[in-house]
Amino acid sequence: MADTVTERYRKERPGSWARWERACRVIPGGITHDGRYLTPFPLYVRRAAGPRKWDVDGQEYVDYWMGHGALFLGHAHPSLVEAVQAQVGRGTHYGACHDLEVEWAEWITRLVPSAELVRFTMSGTEATHLALRLARAATGRPKIVKFTGHFHGWHDGVSAGVNPPYEIPMSAGIPGAVLGEVLLSPPNDMAALERLVGSRQDIAAVILEPAGGSAGTIPTEPGFLKDLRQLTRDRGLVLIFDEVISGFRYAPGGAQEYYGVTPDLTTLAKIVAGGLPGAAVCGRREIVGLMAFGEDTGWNRAQRVAQNGTYNANPLSAAAGIAMLSELANGKLHDAANARGAELRAGLNDVFRKAGVACVAYGDVSIFHVSLEGSPGAKAKDPDLYHKWRCALILQGVDMSAYHGWVSAVHGEREIEETIDAVARAVRDLQAEGAL
Ligand code: PMP
C-alpha cells in the first residue's frame, strides 16, 4: 500500500523532524507558538523572500502564513530591509524619546479614522490588555463584553469563549475572578447582546474583531457593526475594534474605514510594525489621553492609566512600521492583494468542486479561510484532519495555517496558479487515503 500523507511527510522532511526532536528537549512540545502545533512535527524554515520561503531540507514553499498576517509586503521587502538596516547601526534602544516614534504615531493618526492619540505596545496581546484597562478607567466599570469565537490574544482577560466548547476558557491557569469579568455574547446577534446588556450598569466595553471572529473565520454580518456602534453609543459603552488582523489590510484605515464604522478604541499589531514586533492602541483623545501625566500629582498616582514596556516603540520597529505604512497608504497595494485573494478563493473552490469534496474556501479582501467540513463561518471540528491537510499542502509546496492564509501584495498570478495546482494534488492525496 502507498504511504499515507503523514508517512510521506516524515520521510520527506527529515531536517524538520530532527530539529523538532532536539527542540522538544528544551522547549515544551518543541514549539514557540500554539499555532505552530502540527502532527507529526512542525516545519523548520531557513530563509524567506517575497511570497516564498525555503525549509531546512531545501524545499520551496509559496507562503500564506506571511508572518501571521504581518507581512503585507511579503518577506524581506527591499524598503523594509533598507529601513531596518539603516536604523540598526544607529542604535536599537535609546532609553529616550525619538523622532521615529512620533512619525510612526502620525502615520497611524493619518490613516486610521478613530486614531486621535496613539500609545505603543509590543504585541497585539498587550494592546488588547491596555485597551481594556483604558475602557475600565474611562467608565469606572469592570465588565467586558466579548463575542464567542473572537480572539484577542492570550492574556487572562480575553481568554474566555475563544474556542468551542465556549464554556471552557482558552487555557488552564486563568483565575475564575478574571473570567467572571467577561460577559460572552454570540456574534452577529443584536437581540442577544441587547438582552445581555439589559439595564446593567457594570459594563465598560464591547470588544470584537470587526471583520469577524478568529481573523474572519466567523464573518461579521453586514449591518451588525452599525447597530453595535449605535447600542454602545446609546449605552455609554466603549466600543473597541481589535484590528490586529484587519488593520491596514481591509483598507489603509483598516476595517473601520472599509465598513465606515468608527470605534472609540482600536488595537493594532502585525502590519503596523512592518513585520517587526510592535503594536498600538489608538482612539479617542479623552480615553487614550488618560495615560498622560498632568500637573495633579494625586491624579497621576491614582487615576492615570499606567503602562510601561521596555521595547515600546523601539527605533527598529518604528522604522519598519513607518516604511510599511508609507508603502501602503495610497491603497494601490490593496487592489493587487485583494485581486489575488479573490482569484485564490475562486480557484480553490473550483478544485474542491471538481474533486467532489465538501471543502469550501471563503473570506474577504486578501484573506482566505478553508473549511474542510464545508461549513463556512464555523470553526473547524476535526483537528486531526487539519493536521493531515497541512502536511499534504507542505508536501506540495504550500504553507499556510490549517484554517486560513494571508495573501500579500507581492503574491503574483504565478504563485496563485502554483497554489491552486498544489492544492488539487494535496486534495487527491487526501482522497486516496480516504481522509477527504
Ligand atoms: N487580536 C487578534 C485579532 C489577533 O489575531 C491576534 C494574533 N493573531 C492578537 C490579538 C494577538 O496579537 P499578538 O500575537 O501580537 O499578541
CA of 267 to the centre of ligand 1 (A): 9
* Top mutation candidate among 207, 245, 266, 312 for ligand 1, by most atoms within 8 Å of CB: 245
Taking CA atoms only, the protein residue closest to ligand 1 atom 2 is 152
Which ligand 1 atom is at minimum distance from the Cα of 150?
3
Q: What is the pLDDT at residue 329?
A: 98
Whether the CB-CB separation of 219 and 364 falls below 8 Å is answered with yes
**pLDDT, tens digit, for every residue of 29-68?**
999 999 999 999 999 999 999 999 999 999 999 999 999 9
**pLDDT, tens digit, for every residue of 124-162?**
999 999 999 999 999 999 999 999 999 999 999 999 999
Percent of the chain residues topping a pLDDT of 70? 100
* Top mutation candidate among 122, 147, 152, 246 for ligand 1, by most atoms within 8 Å of CB: 152
Closest CA to 206 of 223, 219, 191, 187: 187
How many whole angstroms separate alpha carbon 102 and alpha carbon 108?
10
**pLDDT, tens digit, for every residue of 413-423?**
999 999 999 99
Residue 251 Cβ inside 6 Å of ligand 1? The answer reads no
| Residue 1: pLDDT over 80 | no
Query: Average pLDDT in the 64-81 region?
Result: 98
Residue 152 Cβ inside 6 Å of ligand 1? The answer reads yes
Residue 124 Cβ inside 6 Å of ligand 1? The answer reads yes
Q: Which residues of 81-119 are buried (b: 16+ CB within 10 A; e: fewer)?
A: eebbeebeeeeeeeeeebebbeebbebbeebbbbbebbb
Residues in the chain: 436
Q: What is the pLDDT at residue 2?
A: 85
The domains of the chain, with CATH numbers, are: 5-75+331-432 (3.90.1150.10), 78-328 (3.40.640.10)
Whether the CB-CB separation of 153 and 125 falls below 8 Å is answered with yes
Percent of the chain residues topping a pLDDT of 90? 99
CA of 355 to the centre of ligand 1 (A): 34
**pLDDT, tens digit, for every residue of 371-385?**
999 999 999 889 999
CA of 295 to the centre of ligand 1 (A): 35
Query: Average pLDDT in the 392-402 region?
Result: 98
Q: Provide the pairing of β-strand 203-208 with 238-242.
A: parallel
Closest CA to 240 of 144, 376, 125, 149: 144
pTM above 0.85, yes or no: yes
Whether the CB-CB separation of 169 and 179 falls below 8 Å is answered with yes
Give 328's Cβ-side CA count (13 Å radius): 36
Q: What is the pLDDT at residue 222?
A: 87
Q: What is the pLDDT at residue 165?
A: 96
